[in-house]
């Protein structure tokens, strides 16, 4: 049976949502399983950690500002 990418995508779109999640999960699992032997250097891991730390800090700061704004609006007469 020969299928092209378009036929596969059309078949995927006809699946119920639950089955779409199952297919997507399997694709992701197989993709990462094939790359499981990829190793990150210590410098790369440190850079990723630092990047995520900054993002988390920025999101926390934004969340605090939003929280303070909501509290102020609730306290306003």
SS3 48: helix
Phi, psi of 38 (to 5 degrees): -70, 130
Q: How confident is the model at residue 48 (pLDDT cuts 50, 70, 90)?
A: confident
pTM over 0.85: no
Largest CA distance in the chain: 70
CA distance 19 to 54: 36
Q: Counting every residue, how long is the chain?
A: 77
Q: Which residues neighbour 40 within 8 Å (Cβ) at sequence distance 6 or greater?
A: 48
User: 13-29, pLDDT tens digit by residue?
Assistant: 898 888 888 888 888 77
Read off the pLDDT band of 1 (50, 70, 90). Answer: very low
């Amino acid at each position: 049976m020969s299928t092209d990418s378009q036929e596969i995508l059309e078949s995927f779109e006809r699946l119920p949502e639950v089955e779409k999640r199952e297919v997507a999960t399997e694709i992701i699992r197989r993709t990462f399983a094939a790359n499981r032997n990829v190793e990150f250097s210590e410098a790369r891991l440190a850079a990723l950690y630092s990047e995520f730390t900054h993002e988390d800090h920025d999101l926390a700061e934004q969340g605090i500002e939003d929280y303070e704004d909501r509290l102020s609006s609730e306290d306003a007469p």
